[in-house]
Chains A and B, each alone.
Chain A
Amino acid sequence: MHELSIAISIVDAAAEEAQQRNARVQAVHLRLGRLAGVVKDALLASYDIAAAGTALEGSKLLIEEVPVVAYCPKCEARRAVNSEEWFICAECRSPISEILEGKELEVFALEVE
């Protein structure tokens, strides 16, 4: 369970960005890939603990989950991968391995006042 250390990194990153803008953060928008190796619920549960006593205390963490997208050599196109347990093109069902999206762990935006 490394979500707490990830949550601390999120708070640190957001606090630094907010300080540069001299702003107070109300919410942090996070893009979380399905292949990032981070569990959404555990991260949400860790966030308040990580934010306590920092400039981000009381702020919200809003998570947008990013589905897996890979390059399908057969279709020669970007294609969705619907299951991490079965890495196949959602269209032609051939195995695909070149991941284009789905590993994101990114503070995308801040809601500030």
Chain B
Amino acid sequence: MSVAEPRLVEVRRNVLKQNDLIARELRESYRQAGMTVVSLVSSPGSGKTAFLEKTLTLLQPRYRVAALVGDLATENDAGRLARSRAPVKQIVTGTVCHLDASMVRNALEGWLPAPLDFLFIENVGNLVCPSSYDLGEDLRLVLLSVTEGEDKPLKYPTIFNTADVAVITKTDLAEAVEFDAPLCERNIQSVRPGMRVLHLSAKKGSGMDSWLDLLASLRAGKAAGRSGE
């Protein structure tokens, strides 16, 4: 065989292996700490921060909660979330359009003073890039506001396919923008059959009950999983 002859060697290596390994470590560390981790993805301006601020405020009487917030440049979101009086840390990503597992790991290192029940991770506003990166979370939400249009799921099927639950936000504006909720729901079911969909308004508080119920059952399920091992 000639030395210069090219040959094909099979390597079968996952490109995001490094991220997936860190995500696995994170998942294990969340489990050991008894912490339920929920991440949020959406386009910019869909109401992630308002939704999270409301969620943190409503959970605090009963649960220990904190949030990590990814953003390109400013720390405004962390400032808004701090009004809930929950511990909040900003991850400024610079020009990076998504959070990856190592950014989450670095942000958590030496940060959380006490054990938590819930940790929320708000991803950078982007419906494309975050879909590729596992953060070790237990539940991934994709948010969609009524002002964005009913066809968003059809335009970004991949993010809907990597999320667990869809949340339609700003429903208090639905009438003003003539939002067609059944159509939006059909589009979500079209790209992700069987996906659970919540409709809510963080501003008015409507629909937040079923969201809090979902969190409580997620937590109960996780606790049951732990004791069952």
Contact = CB atoms under 8 A, between A and B. Distances in A.
Interface of A: 1-2, 5-6, 9-10, 13-14, 17, 21, 23, 26-27, 29-30, 35-38, 84-88, 95-97, 99, 105-113
Contacts of B158: 35-37, 84
Contacts of B17: 13
Contacts of B190: 85-87, 95
A9 B157 contact: no
Contacts of B6: 26-27, 111-113
Given A9-B16, A37-B131, A96-B193, A109 B159 contact: no
Given A1-B129, A2-B132, A113-B4, A106 B15 contact: yes
A105 B98 CA distance: 17
A97 B192 contact: yes
A65 B45 CA distance: 33
Given A85-B191, A109-B11, 12 more contacts: A17-B11, A37-B159, A85-B154, A86-B190, A87-B157, A95-B193, A97-B194, A106-B12, A108-B10, A109-B9, A109-B10, A112-B8
28 contacts: A2-B97, A6-B16, A9-B18, A13-B13, A26-B6, A36-B158, A37-B132, A85-B190, A85-B191, A87-B161, A87-B191, A87-B193, A95-B190, A97-B192, A97-B193, A105-B16, A105-B132, A107-B13, A108-B10, A108-B11, A109-B8, A109-B9, A109-B11, A110-B9, A111-B6, A112-B8, A113-B4, A113-B6
B189 interface: yes
B128 interface: yes
Interface of B: 3-18, 96-98, 128-129, 131-132, 154, 157-159, 161-162, 189-195
Contact of B191 (A13, A14, A84): A84
Interface of B is mostly: mixed
Q: Residue among A85, A88, A105, A108 with the most chain B CB within 10 A?
A: A85
Nearest to A108: B12
Nearest to B16: A105
Contacts of B4: 113
A10 B17 CA distance: 10
B102 to A, nearest CB: 12
A37 B100 CA distance: 14
A38 B132 contact: yes
B188 to A, nearest CB: 10
A97 B147 CA distance: 27
A105 B191 contact: no
B11 A37 contact: no
Contact of A107 (B11, B97, B128, B157): B11
A62 to B, nearest CB: 11
Given A37-B129, A97-B193, A84 B96 contact: no
Contacts of A27: 6
A58 B9 CA distance: 18
Contacts of A95: 189-190, 193-194
A25 B14 CA distance: 18
Nearest to B190: A86
